[in-house]
Amino acid sequence: MYGKGLRALSISTVAVMAIALGLVFFYAPLEAEQGFLQKIFYVHVPLAIIALCGFVAGGIMAIQHLRTRDSRWDMRSYVAIHMSLIFAVATLITGSIWAKGSWGHWWVWSEPTLASFLIVFLLYGTYQPLRFSIEDPERQARYASVFAVTAGAFVPMNFIAVRLSTAYLHPRVLGSTSNLPPRMAVTFLVSLLGMALLYTTLCKYELTAKHTRAQLRALRRRAETRSGAEDASGAYARRPRSAAPSVAAPTIAAHTAGRPGV
């Protein structure tokens, strides 16, 4: 189900990423002030934008879960946030490297963009422990969705607050692409597209893996039921405690629904 189009998506991701790298190093001109160091911009900024958009997307998917009670939306929200966290780690590391090269410090606490991004990252860092602390899958999904919606609303608010702040030490990017020379703007937009494709591809891989695993579990349960391997307490059916959402395997459920004796 989730694996559909994965091959084409993977190929286009690799192609766009390769083009973006080519543009970064052989097409975009060197920036006047920072020179070669500014090349970090083409990886750091797209990573940050995609990570923040992913957090918001996770919130939107969580709204869908709360509206429909469909566990697939919870799974999508979980995967979007999980992937955004990985992108956020990469953003923080590349940002630190850029700060060290540019300002001479790995981290500048007085800079609002850095501090606010760290706050968002730490906020979402509690998402997984929150999920893991709740054993009941139904409650886990509901509470996680409420968290994702609240935190997802916090992300744009935080972004606006930082832009309204008076300190402008950190370079402004979003909304000022027109200020970039055309060759830099093209390179940036291709890098952004490449990063968006990478995010989508990795999310799709994760969803496909989780869905396949759920189907495999359902198959195993069926096989165990048939062979009478179930013990008296029905222990085989118990799901191990996990932060990851539990998803139904609709294909197998639908397949077995009409069969007598299954």
Partner 1 sequence: MGALLAELPALPLHEAGKYVAGAYIVVFALVLVYVAIMAVRLSRIERELGELLAQEHSAASMGHEASDPESTPA
Q: Applying CB under 8 A, does 23 fall inside the site for partner 1? A: no
- Cβ atoms of 197 and 234 closer than 8 Å: no
Q: Which is nearer to partner 1, 40 or 190 (by Cβ)? A: 40
State phi, psi for 31 to the nearest 5 degrees. Answer: -75, 145
Q: Applying CB under 8 A, does 121 fall inside the site for partner 1? A: no
Query: What three-state secondary structure class fits 182?
Result: helix
- Cβ atoms of 87 and 199 closer than 8 Å: yes
**Helix runs in the chain, H state only:** 6-26, 41-68, 71-103, 112-125, 127-133, 137-164, 182-227, 250-257
Q: For partner 1, which residue of 4, 69, 183, 226 counts as binding (CB under 8 A)?
A: 226
Residue 99 CB, nearest approach to partner 1 (Å): 10
- Of the chain, the end-to-end C-alpha distance in Å amounts to 24
User: Binding-site residue total for partner 1 (CB under 8 A)?
Assistant: 34
For partner 1, the binding residues in 48-107 under the rule CB under 8 A are 86, 89-90, 93-94, 97-98, 100-101
Q: For partner 1, which residue of 69, 139, 183, 213 counts as binding (CB under 8 A)?
A: 213
d(CA 37, CA 259) in angstroms, rounded, equals 64
Q: Which is nearer to partner 1, 88 or 149 (by Cβ)? A: 88
* Residues in touch with partner 1 (CB under 8 A): 25-26, 30, 34-37, 39-40, 43-44, 47, 86, 89-90, 93-94, 97-98, 100-101, 198, 202, 205-206, 209, 212-213, 216, 219-220, 223, 226-227
